[in-house]
A and B are shown apart, each in its own frame.
Chain A
């Protein structure tokens, strides 16, 4: 088992991937804030089960890999595709554009902070592993 396949690290990795992809979706929304008929999009937040795997129906848009026995491993660094949420935006301007710049900026800063939290947790977990193997 690779280090990155540990449940904690793989859950954090998925979360960081989600934030990365969400940043792209939000950048699209902001860049198109003046494009007529443009509807903003967002991603559905991933949910995790107790051991850090993707929970069923958690908006991952992909079937979780089933394990016949404990010996089957999932490929490390596999990219998950995340479900899109098209029902965002609550006001549409006459040109058909529904991007709310304030709302998007709020999401961008929240996304950035959550990403910082996840990456801090990731480095802390790595530090914990280092302590466990006796490196100071």
Chain B
């Protein structure tokens, strides 16, 4: 073996990195949902722009394994929908207000997916723990 880290430790480390990445994704999703109504402060200005998390596969040198990490958080460059609301302080000359390009439905489905991936990684940890327990049980034989 290349180093002293056992495969079980690596499995745990990899699953932990997956959980960390999914938790970061959840943070960005909650940011998007919280800002679903955040319009600009100035007339005609841009409102909150939706953020999109990215994942990258990276080589963890201490673990000697391919872990996953949250990559750069990119802005969603799709156009802002507008709403006619002349009384709003953010309304432009024609009375239209740009609203954030956040779709709550999309965010909720993304959140469910992040939750499921998180649980899958958690399952890996419990399975690995049971396997370690079985190995230790050999000592009792």
Whether the Cβ atoms of B131 and A112 lie closer than 8 Å is: yes
Q: Which of the candidate stretches B41-49, B88-96, B116-124 sits at the interface with the other chain?
A: B116-124
Closest chain-A Cβ to B16's Cβ sits at a distance in Å of 9
- B14 proximity list for chain A (CB < 8 A): 24, 27-28, 31
Q: Tell me if B's interface is mostly helix, strand, loop or mixed.
A: helix
Residue B105 at the A interface, CB < 8 A?
A: no
- B106 proximity list for chain A (CB < 8 A): none
Closest chain-B Cβ to A95's Cβ sits at a distance in Å of 10
Whether the Cβ atoms of A119 and B124 lie closer than 8 Å is: no
Closest chain-A Cβ to B43's Cβ sits at a distance in Å of 39
Chain A residues close to B by CB (< 8 Å): 16, 19-21, 23-24, 26-28, 30-36, 38, 79, 101, 104-105, 108-109, 111-112, 115-116, 119-120, 122-124, 126-127
Which 8 interchain pairs have the tightest Cβ spacing?
A: A31-B18, A123-B141, A27-B11, A27-B14, A20-B7, A119-B134, A35-B55, A24-B7
